[in-house]
Structure 1
Amino acid sequence: MAEEKSEAAAPEQPTGQGTGSVRGVYASIPADRATGVPEPASARLTWTDGERSIDYEARASHLDVRDDAGVLLGRMFSVSYVAVDGEGRANASRPVTFAYNGGPGSSSVPINLGGIGPRRVATDGVSHLRADAPIEDNPHTLLAESDVVFLDALGTGWSVLAEDADPKKVFCTDGDADAFARAICAWLTENGRWSSPLYLFGESYGTVRNSVLMRLLGERGVQLTGVVMLSAVFNIAGLLNPGDDLYYLGMMPTFAATAQFFGRAGAGVDEDEWFSRAMDFTERELAPALLRGDRLGEAEERAVAERMAAFIGLSAEHILAHHLRVDLLDFRTHLLADEGRVCGRLDTRFSSDAPSPMQSYDMWLAGEDPADDAVEGAWVRAFRRLCADDLGYAGPARYLSNNYDKVNAGWDWGHEEPGLGRVATPNVSLDIAVAMRRNPTLKLAILGGRYDAATTWWNVVHDMSCQFLSPALKSRVSWHLYGCGHMAYVDEPTLEAMGHDLHEFYERR
């Protein structure tokens, strides 16, 4: 899902003196001897967009994640931005939003320094950022609407597992949501914010986490006001499993949008109209064709392939060779092959030189993503500068912006699905429906991009439509499709539009 470029894990470090309470790559870092993590650090800062200004406290700290018996499971790293008055006091009537990325195995740096935090790295369209890319006050920060707490999942960033904790109990769908629920409650207690309206903001796998948390927090008596799903994925099997027809259907409109962007299809057609036509073709022509398999017949299969070719910029012969089932890696490597280039996955508008023909290992190619290469390094550097220079936070030398080798690779996707019991791969749209039926005052915003091939828009629309929510509950859901990729905030016009839409969402009763 989010930011899935593979990064080799650092070797385990020997245990240093006074730090035996945590384990993992940071176990040897000198820190507070009682907790095994660095001391919290904070600073009073000011955000401005030239017209408005907000004084806020930025704080880096760890939250204890303990089970019901008080046993430590881990310490979750957080960066909070809380608006304060002239005397440094927070306003308990302001909303608090807990935000995170996904993976599973990603830290929250992208959504913080790339997206909705008070500072961001200035982007440059679909160009790769320089190492010295400027950092600016984010004119569309969510801080204008809400205090924001960015959380790093255990095993990512500077979050750590307790020494005796079993990673298998945390690196799983339900264990992950449980850990976040406990960290959220710990932050609310430590900061005296139980009277504040509570929001969740998740990106990519963070939307799976959101979906389970919506239900889980409600079951624990923590009522939410709103949930934001950015670049959402709900039915894991349908999105991630080539061979499942839902996968190919979801990819089709995104392929069409990408082909139009690179001038391979859709000439002279408005972008929104082109995407709408592709959505309609997917449901009215491609879906029935895939459902029939080899019963479709050669003539009809060719007719569908030719119409599909006009949408996605690959030849009808190529599509026929795959029996209408074109996967993402095939599309990325063939659309621009005549230019010697490959397009991105997280944002298909980005492209780079194709790898050497010798580098043909599919799993490696799937992890090579120019959309990720273009921005992640600049975001991590900006985050380290914020912590060190502005907050004086003495974080370890290594920050795991992603830790897929240890977290994602062994992830247990099993889930206790409400009303179904234990399932091997979750469809958390059921969790969303249960949470909304139990709390009909809850509001939900679903945001996504046409050029997102990691979590495709069609699948989300399909998954939610299969929940058959009442008209009253459906009116609590707002949908926003943008001309962007997975990390919507990379695109500055989208960031502006998203800021406007989020303002309306937070203002809505």
Structure 2
Amino acid sequence: MKLIKALVLIVTFISTVASATENSRAIDVDSHIITKHKATINNQKINYTVNTGTQPVWNTQGHPIATLHYTYYKKDKVKDDSKRPLLISFNGGPGSASVWMHIAYTGPRVLKIDNEGYPVQPYGLQDNPFSVLDVADIVFVNPVNTGYSRVLPNKDGTMPSKADQKKWFFGVNADIKYLSEWLNTFVTRHNRFRSPKFLIGESYGTTRVSGLAHALQNQQWMYINGVVLVSPTDIGIKREGPMKTANRLPYFAAAAWYHKALEPSLQNKDLLEVLAEVETYTINQYLPALAKGAFIGTKEKTSTIAQVAKYSGLSEKFVAQNNLDIPTDAFWKELLRSKGFTLGRLDSRYLGIDKRDAGDSPDYWPELTSWLHSFTPAINYYLREELNYKTDVKYNMFGDVYPWDRSNNETGEQLRLAMAQNPYLNVMIQAGYYDGATNYFDAKYTLWQLDPSGKMRDRLSFKGYRSGHMMYLRRADLKKSNQELREFIQSSLPNPDEAAKY
């Protein structure tokens, strides 16, 4: 009996210690670890330094209210940093860590995957010979509650209320405000104020960097040379009603073409030839037909149903049953229903298997589950074992940032104004044709509407890829997208003594 009581006491003690350890687990507020590395990038041998650590977010009283985890890549033996570009990278969500582009796109180490972007075991990393580190230093930033970044306790040790956290961090404009302040500190600490600066964001990160371009220029007095929008959101440029519906058709055509679901006259053409035809039809005929709503003529409606079915790979009956307005969820479920598969949302090359073939939307997103299972072990291994950043804090692939305040999203207009104020500032969009979440034709529409005056058209560009939301996962597009990013950075640098004026 005494032995049992003793064992109970020991177990209770261990549980109490474990609980206390768990509750006291915290990230360092201000820290950094330096490591040295070598790589061959763009056929150049490069030595580089990685600084990974945390840097505080302060309130107006100078008290740290959060700390952000970052990873900063800097090429060694650069004589003049004032001529060396700095690329500042964010992912999206909101609530997503800056892991995706970090270890799959621009960084010198990328996910171990096959040539089409599908994971292979054992999970890990490989060298990225296409990284843009040869032409720019890169910092990957994790916003609050993503990666290792965290909200910090108040001075009295209590956590800020949910209302205060939302006001400080979790909304379109709060996000931009605190990140612009944080970047000012980062640029100051690392002596990069004179360097050309570029912002790159993916998905919701495009909303973030569009607003940051304006905030950095108007609140931190820091000119930006370029903004890259990867798989962009609407950035506050509304796409509603018939336009929202019409813009889906080119993406439907791309996904159907990939899965060989189009009729031979289209299937035998190259993807880009098909998309050019569908885009022309979408703007000139499908959109006007949708705008007529219930008052469209019978003949025109019948013709439109047939053409939309032809381009989407869906049956005329299905198109008619949806009154020409086909939800993306329904498309993902319907296109390959007869074969027993659903399509991925973020990358429609991926296939899923549902419990039932019936229904109007997929059970899950096969691409996202695949990515999370391969990215998570890779980033945890990389930060700890290769970059020597060790902590017991959990790396949040997706963090708690909700409810997110989406009100007063004027980031598209803010980006336009930043361009107008700064003759140096160029914008490039990169998008995958098989992305059903932020489809490529919506991205083109955003580009067209960003500057209604047309006076800055020569500073706007679009690049498309034969892959999905994270177009860089396909190796051919990893090479192509990095090269086009490299060229964008180089072409956005002004000539010596070229003044910023119109």
Q: Which amino acid aligns with 2:277?
A: R
- In 2, distance between residues paired with 1:473 and 1:27? 53
Residue of structure 1 aligned with 2:143, choices 153, 158, 170: 153
Q: 1:256 — aligned with what?
A: 253
Structure 2 length-normalised TM? 0.86
Residue of structure 1 aligned with 2:45, choices 27, 40, 53: 53
Give unpaired runs (5+ residues) of structure 2. Answer: 1-17, 155-159, 495-502
Give a deviation string over 1:196-231, Cα, whole Å, max 9, x none. Answer: 111101001000001111111111211111111111
In the TM superposition, 1:470-481 aligns within 5 A as 470-481=453-464
Does the 8 A contact of 1:156 with 1:402 survive in 2?
A: yes
Aligned residues between the structures: 463
Alpha-carbon shift at residue 359 of structure 1 (Å): 10
- In 2, distance between residues paired with 1:138 and 1:176? 31
SS at match of 2:69: strand
Q: 1:141 — aligned with what?
A: 131
- In 1, distance between residues paired with 2:486 and 2:249? 32
Q: 1:305 — aligned with what?
A: 305
Does the 8 A contact of 1:58 with 1:79 survive in 2?
A: yes
Q: Which amino acid aligns with 2:468?
A: G
Alpha-carbon shift at residue 460 of structure 1 (Å): 2.5
Give unpaired runs (5+ residues) of structure 1. Answer: 1-13, 18-25, 416-425
SS at match of 2:199: strand
Q: Which amino acid aligns with 2:294?
A: D
Q: 1:326 — aligned with what?
A: 326
Q: 2:291 — aligned with what?
A: 291
SS at match of 1:189: helix
Q: Which amino acid aligns with 1:290?
A: L
SS at match of 2:101: helix
- In 2, distance between residues paired with 1:491 and 1:226? 25
Tell me, yes or no, if structure 1 residue 410 matches structure 2 residue 393: no
Q: Which amino acid aligns with 2:153?
A: E
- In 2, distance between residues paired with 1:481 and 1:31? 39
Q: Which has the larger radius of gyration?
A: 2
Give the structure with the larger helix fraction: 2
In the TM superposition, 1:330-349 aligns within 5 A as 330-349=330-349
In the TM superposition, 1:62-141 aligns within 5 A as 62-85=54-77, 91-126=81-116, 128-141=118-131
- In 2, distance between residues paired with 1:249 and 1:358? 27
Q: Which amino acid aligns with 1:74?
A: A
* Greater shift in the superposed pair: 166-175 or 46-55: 46-55
- In 1, distance between residues paired with 2:24 and 2:228? 37
- In 1, distance between residues paired with 2:19 and 2:124? 38
SS at match of 2:260: coil
Q: 1:167 — aligned with what?
A: 165
Q: Which amino acid aligns with 1:178?
A: K
Give a deviation string over 1:448-482, Cα, whole Å, max 9, x none. Answer: 11111111122222233234455552111122112
Residue of structure 2 aligned with 1:454, choices 437, 451, 462: 437
Q: Which amino acid aligns with 1:82?
A: K
Q: Which amino acid aligns with 1:253?
A: P
Alpha-carbon shift at residue 27 of structure 1 (Å): 6.1
SS at match of 1:331: helix
- In 2, distance between residues paired with 1:45 and 1:94? 19
Residue of structure 2 aligned with 1:378, choices 374, 380, 383: 374
Q: 1:217 — aligned with what?
A: 216
Structure 1 length-normalised TM? 0.85
Does the 8 A contact of 1:102 with 1:203 survive in 2?
A: yes
Alpha-carbon shift at residue 145 of structure 1 (Å): 1.6
- In 2, distance between residues paired with 1:27 and 1:63? 22
- In 2, distance between residues paired with 1:177 and 1:153? 10
- In 2, distance between residues paired with 1:145 and 1:506? 8
- In 1, distance between residues paired with 2:109 and 2:478? 13
Alpha-carbon shift at residue 343 of structure 1 (Å): 0.9
SS at match of 1:402: coil
Distance 1:398 1:357, change over 3 A: same
Residue of structure 2 aligned with 1:396, choices 392, 395, 420: 392
In the TM superposition, 1:361-372 aligns within 5 A as 365=362, 368-372=364-368
Give a deviation string over 1:73-110, Cα, whole Å, max 9, x none. Answer: 31111011111129xx8845311111011011100111
- In 1, distance between residues paired with 2:178 and 2:472? 27
Distance 1:307 1:433, change over 3 A: same
Q: Which amino acid aligns with 1:160?
A: R
Q: Which amino acid aligns with 1:452?
A: D
Tell me, yes or no, if structure 1 residue 443 matches structure 2 residue 426: yes
Alpha-carbon shift at residue 162 of structure 1 (Å): 2.5
Q: 2:205 — aligned with what?
A: 206
Tell me, yes or no, if structure 1 residue 246 matches structure 2 residue 243: yes
Does the 8 A contact of 2:27 with 2:148 survive in 1?
A: no
Give a deviation string over 1:390-436, Cα, whole Å, max 9, x none. Answer: 22211235211012xx32x4111012xxxxxxxxxx35322221111
Distance 1:45 1:188, change over 3 A: same
Does the 8 A contact of 1:64 with 1:186 survive in 2?
A: no
Q: 1:179 — aligned with what?
A: 178
- In 2, distance between residues paired with 1:352 and 1:127? 16
* Greater shift in the superposed pair: 375-384 or 311-320: 375-384
Give a deviation string over 1:280-330, Cα, whole Å, max 9, x none. Answer: 111111111111110113332221011000001110110111111111110
Q: 1:22 — aligned with what?
A: none
SS at match of 2:249: helix
- In 2, distance between residues paired with 1:371 and 1:195? 41
* CA RMSD across the alignment: 2.5
Percent sequence identity is 25
Alpha-carbon shift at residue 485 of structure 1 (Å): 0.9
- In 2, distance between residues paired with 1:438 and 1:77? 31
SS at match of 2:96: coil
- In 2, distance between residues paired with 1:461 and 1:428? 17
Give a deviation string over 1:363-406, Cα, whole Å, max 9, x none. Answer: xx47x222222333222222111211122211235211012xx3
SS at match of 2:243: helix
Q: 1:493 — aligned with what?
A: 476
Distance 1:497 1:247, change over 3 A: same
- In 2, distance between residues paired with 1:50 and 1:148? 16
SS at match of 2:427: strand
